Structure 1
């Protein structure tokens, strides 16, 4: 968020918590992108604040958390002191979550894989409508094929991303028999190391697809510890993930920090991941 919008978002999160009876003397910005994560003190609440254009995503994230609350999923939980819902204030959607003090150590690949297996097992226990991975790919494909949305993307790179998205989406949708609910974007930034163990956050990306789509977001070593994973499919999903990532970075209205770096780095990652996939 731009500084002016960030100030409003922080105030919206602080006032929302305060009016719900949570003592909020200060707000610390933990993460700032298209939405912001705040640590509210001394009540120790994590407030997730998004512009109202993301209201549906915020509501879906809360719904996912509510479904997972009773099945022992390794995920961050909503704050139990307030109603589990999204609050609207000053053109922002605000949800309130338990704050977990991070533990400094790096999550070992085996522990990362164990968190995946427990999370996937929990997701198989709930009944929740969610888009398929290929629906998300279709959105990215429409974006990259619209030159007005990404006018600075060179034609050769546009063709690379378009071909990658369409070809790999078709490849992973051939057999959906083993598809299930997934986290959707369980990269290392969305897995917290806490005193409770590793916990996944950012549940708004929940979707359906092969478990390899989730594994492709993690460091490569993690997949080796996940029993039964198809490593060729992980490579294809990793190329697909980097292609979608690159599409978002080339959008004219993208505000990711260090965007110029990630525009080129993302394309390089796509090419490297495609090389790992081999011919065809």
Structure 2
């Protein structure tokens, strides 16, 4: 969020949390992008604040968290038990309250990452019927950006064709057989896995979608897939190529504001080609 919107988001989170009887003397910005994560001190709640236009996504995330809270051993950050498990709408913002977890300074052990993801997938298989998009729905949004030259005017023709082919044909191949599809985190990369006293916990549940587990493994460090029982290594690379193609599609948008965007435009295309090369037989 831009500074004016961020200030309003902080004010809304403070006011709403105080009305719930929780003390807020200070607010620490943990993450700021299209929506923000705010640590509320000393109540130690975490407020996730989004523009009200993203209300449906915020409500979806809360519903995923609410269902996972009913599953034993789900390695996931929980909603704050002191507040009603719902999204509060106020002054143009959608606010949900979560438990704040103090991150440990040490890194997550290599064996703990695949174990946490395996347990997370097992928990998702127990949440019941949940109306979630398929990962190909997200691919379709990225493909639309690539096909729209007005939205991505600086993307070279050869690179545009690379992204178009990867997003359309490769995702169609991956999704041809949906027999093994299940609920997924959607983006279980290292930034979405906290190292806490409770063990590794996944956050940012708004990306939950349906697809093969290899789509999740494609977002994790490479060693995770090697230690995840039953994973198809070649399928992971195919999913990784699609993932980097989506990432690149966002970076080439005319209005993308990611820091160091020019670097990531070039790096994203490089990583697409590297993943595609590893998809080849042999």
Q: CA deviation at 1:22?
A: 1.0
Q: Following the alignment from structure 2 to structure 1, what is the Cα–Cα distance between the partners of residues 209 and 37?
A: 22
Q: Deviations over 1:97-156 (max 9, x none)?
A: 000000111112210000011000000011211111111111111111111212222222
Q: Following the alignment from structure 1 to structure 2, what is the Cα–Cα distance between the partners of residues 254 and 95?
A: 26
Q: Following the alignment from structure 1 to structure 2, what is the Cα–Cα distance between the partners of residues 4 and 27?
A: 16
The root-mean-square deviation of aligned C-alpha atoms, in Å, is: 1.2
Q: CA deviation at 1:279?
A: 5.8
Q: Following the alignment from structure 1 to structure 2, what is the Cα–Cα distance between the partners of residues 108 and 35?
A: 29
Q: Deviations over 1:24-51 (max 9, x none)?
A: 1110001111111110000001111111
Q: Following the alignment from structure 1 to structure 2, what is the Cα–Cα distance between the partners of residues 15 and 144?
A: 41
Q: Following the alignment from structure 1 to structure 2, what is the Cα–Cα distance between the partners of residues 40 and 256?
A: 26
Partner of 2:43: 43
Task: Tell me if 1:268 matches 2:243.
Answer: no
Q: Which ranges in structure 1 are unaligned for 5 or more consecutive residues? A: none
Please state whether the residue corresponding to 2:50 is helix, strand or coil: strand
CA contact (8 A) 1:181 1:207 kept: yes
Q: Following the alignment from structure 2 to structure 1, what is the Cα–Cα distance between the partners of residues 259 and 20?
A: 33
Partner of 2:91: 90
Q: Following the alignment from structure 1 to structure 2, what is the Cα–Cα distance between the partners of residues 40 and 175?
A: 45
CA contact (8 A) 1:40 1:46 kept: yes
Q: CA deviation at 1:260?
A: 2.2
Q: Following the alignment from structure 1 to structure 2, what is the Cα–Cα distance between the partners of residues 59 and 2?
A: 23
Please state whether the residue corresponding to 2:234 is helix, strand or coil: helix
Please state whether the residue corresponding to 1:247 is helix, strand or coil: helix
Task: Tell me if 1:200 matches 2:202.
Answer: yes
TM-score, with structure 2 as normaliser: 0.97
Partner of 1:278: 280
TM-score, with structure 1 as normaliser: 0.97
Q: Following the alignment from structure 1 to structure 2, what is the Cα–Cα distance between the partners of residues 259 and 9?
A: 26
Q: Deviations over 1:219-239 (max 9, x none)?
A: 101111111000000010011
Please state whether the residue corresponding to 2:46 is helix, strand or coil: strand
Partner of 2:16: 16
Please state whether the residue corresponding to 1:261 is helix, strand or coil: helix
Partner of 1:257: 259
Q: Deviations over 1:247-274 (max 9, x none)?
A: 1111122222222221111111111111
Q: Deviations over 1:185-220 (max 9, x none)?
A: 000000000000000000000000000000010110
Partner of 2:141: 139
